[in-house]
Amino acid sequence: MATKTLVKTLAVAMGLAISGISLAGAPAAWNKAGGEKDKAMTLKPDLENGLDVYEVCSACHMPEGWGMKEGTFPQLAGQHRTVLIKQLADIRALNRDNPTMYPFALPESIGDEQAIADVTAYIEKLPMNPDNGKGDWAEGTPEFEQGKQLYDKNCTQCHGKNGEGDENKFYPKIAGQHYKYMLRQFEWIRDGKRRNANPDMVKQINGFSDKDMAMVINYTSRIPVPKEDLAPSKDWLNPDFD
């Protein structure tokens, strides 16, 4: 699709999303077996088709898969493939509300479970942004230190000491993700708005105040990402989009 047409289509869909089509419903089971997720995990990915599909995604998640620092669009690069598959399948099944992306993620737009297998295999190869969006509190400030304590006490058992997540358990990598995106997700998980959230995480963060939330996510946004997972510079461009 020509870029201009794509951008126009996007603008129309975003207009629709903003004008308030509501897809909200009851809480979804966190990680139910079956559905597109299980099927996509068994399929052999076709990377060439993955790139074709990813062209649609790149309009929002950017050709590099880095999303936007200000947090509207999450970074997808570096995320575990299981997590990408689960989230995409959840969004398509309306277990996670995402009215902005929903029309572009549908089978009519990108294809069936094979497209999920293909595009996630493509995304998985992309190096991460060395300059993700961060909270305001630098290392050494009391808020940073308090955020670290909250993190070590409440988050490591699932997201790991270095925010690396767990591929086998569908726990997202959160190191290197944009601050504002994570803050929004964290608040939605705490307040029951992200319906596919893990109920044990909801319980764990139940007593977090808004300040606690900002401090722990500030810390998370500043966990260093291993160098081998990063692009060589923040000016790196995805050569597949030349």
Sole window of 36-44, 131-139, 165-173, 226-234 interacting with ligand HEC (rule: CB under 6 A): 165-173
Does position 204 interact with ligand HEC (CB under 6 A)? The reply is: yes
Instruction: Report yes or no: 83 and 68 within 8 Å, Cβ to Cβ.
Output: no
Backbone angles phi, psi at 116, to 5 degrees: -65, -45
Contact pick of 49, 129, 218, 220 for ligand HEC (by CB under 6 A) = 220
CB of 237 to ligand HEC, least distance (A): 19
Per-residue binding letters, 17-56, with ligand HEC (x by CB under 6 A): ------------------------------------x--x
Instruction: Report yes or no: 41 and 91 within 8 Å, Cβ to Cβ.
Output: no
Query: For 19, how many CA atoms within 13 A lie in the half-sphere containing its CB?
Result: 6
Rounded distance, CA 99 to CA 137, Å?
32
Does position 68 interact with ligand HEC (CB under 6 A)? The reply is: no
- The C-alpha angle 134, 139, 143, rounded to 5 degrees, equals 80
Instruction: Report yes or no: 215 and 166 within 8 Å, Cβ to Cβ.
Output: no
CB of 28 to ligand HEC, least distance (A): 9
Size of the site for ligand HEC (CB under 6 A): 47
Does position 117 interact with ligand HEC (CB under 6 A)? The reply is: no
Contact pick of 45, 50, 65, 74 for ligand HEC (by CB under 6 A) = 74
Instruction: Report yes or no: 210 and 241 within 8 Å, Cβ to Cβ.
Output: no
CB of 239 to ligand HEC, least distance (A): 19
Instruction: Report yes or no: 49 and 120 within 8 Å, Cβ to Cβ.
Output: no
Give residues in contact with ligand HEC (CB under 6 A): 10, 53, 56-57, 59-61, 72-74, 76, 79, 84, 86-88, 98, 100-101, 104-105, 110, 119, 150, 154-155, 157-159, 170-172, 174, 177, 182, 184-186, 196-198, 200-201, 204-205, 216, 220
